[in-house]
Amino acid sequence: MSTDALPFHLPEIGEEEIASVVETLRSGWLTTGPKVQKFEQNFARYVGCSHAVAVNSGTAALHVALEAIGIKPGDEVILPTLTFTATAEVVLYLQGKPVLVDCNQATLNLDVADIERKISRRTRAIIPVHIAGHPATCSRFLILRNIMG
């Protein structure tokens, strides 16, 4: 690794993680196997719901989430300007309309004041994106959800 650049993220991968990957590879199950089923069950229990479904990517997770809430053609979905392209792409895939919101200069997360300016009768969802480990301010989003009905 070059010492001239500051990395965005350095993963912490220890012997336990390596052993788990090797165990999975040797099991013959790369998808939907016993480890995935155990993860889904443990995650569902942790968040207090009956079922959970693991998917292969953040893009797939966004797709499933927007399908689950019933995004339809013409529905507006608010999202930040600073995000991966998949955030807007899944909205477009469902024929919704991405509504871009500026980011707060201090946090790089959604600017709540800009969200409030851009909410319309067609707004059906807000996708907050947590940047570089800095969580978006969710309490304000809950208030906006109540305003939207």
- Categorise residue 137: left if φ over 0, alpha if ψ from -120 to 50, beta otherwise: beta
pTM to 2 decimal places: 0.75
Cβ atoms < 10 Å from Cβ of 136? 20
pLDDT of 15-26, one tens digit each?
999 999 999 899
Looking at the structure, give the CATH architecture of the domain made up of residues 62-148: 3-Layer(aba) Sandwich (3.40)
* Environment class of 77 (CB within 10 Å of its CB; exposed 0-12, middle 13-18, buried 19+): buried
What percent of the chain has a predicted confidence (pLDDT) above 90?
Answer: 59
Q: Positive or negative CA dihedral for 111, 96, 68, 86?
A: negative
